[in-house]
Amino acid sequence: MALVSMVELLDKAQKGKYAVGAFNCNNMEIVQAIVAAAEAEKAPVIIQASQGAIKYAGIEYITTLTKLAAEKASVPIALHLDHGTSFAQVMQCARHGFSSVMIDGSKHPLEDNIALTNKVIEAVRHLGISVEAELGKIGGTEDDITVSEREALFTDPEEAEYFVQKTQVDALAIAIGTAHGQYKGTPKLDFDRLTQIRERVSTPLVLHGSSGVPEDALREAISRGVCKVNIDTNIREAFVFAARQALEGNPTEIDPRKMLGPAREAATKIIQEKIRIFGSVGKA
Ligand SMILES: [Zn+2]
């Protein structure tokens, strides 16, 4: 089937109290792994590409691979821009057929974030493209800040209500204690804050930086209203580890398929595990 809008996937997830996995891709093997995992679990899925992925693979390759994968698949697939930071980036993705975009205005003051989000919504909603925004700051695990400094960047529930009233955005990424990258310790999520946000807004909520968040914490977050969970780092780890293992002890191996094949299989496996945790098995 053709790519679908993210809105319909998240609305169904919200009603069914599960989350749709949003998995980052960089290359053909990872696109194939995401689709193979979704097919095996009969789950709806979001394939997302960051600006870094688009720069690496080229936007035509990302969209062509993903559209082809969607056409051949029996499960619904959305193609989403992860962390778009400018209006121009978002419009480039819209022109190339993305069915969903994130405009991350979280580094701007609240009113500027609202204005940027609304500019994007006005430009793409009539094309059937869904829009995710971010409120609060989801940093990186490498950011050299203390826990209390990070907490100061968490999403404020009242601000979330105001933001959603002013934008009517399709999905909202919130900062409740997760971070991008590999965690050094175990992340602690602020579940009370999540519940307070959920009580004030009915918009589908998005958890970024979810690789390395323990399984029970993911389930808890989903039970409290998260319905899109982003996974990138776990795929990178599985992919590179398997590729490295395939080459170990084989210094004369020159066939890239001997490296990329096992890497693709490892990525498929970890994505299937996540889909099961998210509760989206059989929801396609
Ligand atoms: Zn993110």
> How far from the centroid of its chain's Cα atoms is residue 209's Cα?
9
Per-residue pLDDT tens over the stretch 167-178: 999 999 999 999
Distance 127 CA to ligand 1 centre (A): 24
**Cα(243) to centroid of ligand 1, in Å?**
25
- As a whole number, the mean pLDDT across the chain is 96
Q: Any idea which of 116-130, 156-170, 175-189, 192-206 has the lowest mean pLDDT?
A: 175-189
Tokens representing 195 are 């519940």
Q: How far is the CA of 223 from the centre of ligand 1 (A)?
A: 21
Q: How far is the CA of 250 from the centre of ligand 1 (A)?
A: 36
pLDDT value of position 1: 86
| Residue whose C-alpha is closest to residue 230's, from 274, 182, 279 | 274
State residue 142's pLDDT score. 78
Cα(124)–Cα(9) distance, rounded to whole angstroms? 18
As a whole number of angstroms, the longest Cα–Cα distance in the chain is 61
Query: How does DSSP assign 140-197, residue by residue?
Result: BTT----HHHHHTTSPPHHHHHHHHHHH--SEEEE-SS--BS--SS-----HHHHHHH
CA of 178 to the centre of ligand 1 (A): 9
If pLDDT is split at 50, 70 and 90, which confidence band does 249 have? confident
Q: Is the pLDDT of residue 147 over 80?
A: no
Neighbours of 24 (CB within 10 A): 23
Question: What positions carry a catalytic annotation?
Answer: 82
- pLDDT for the residue numbered 76: 98
Using alpha carbons only, what angle is made at residue 228 by residues 177 and 30, rounded to the nearest 5 degrees?
Answer: 100
For ligand 1, the distance from its centroid to the CA atom of residue 173, given in whole angstroms, is: 8
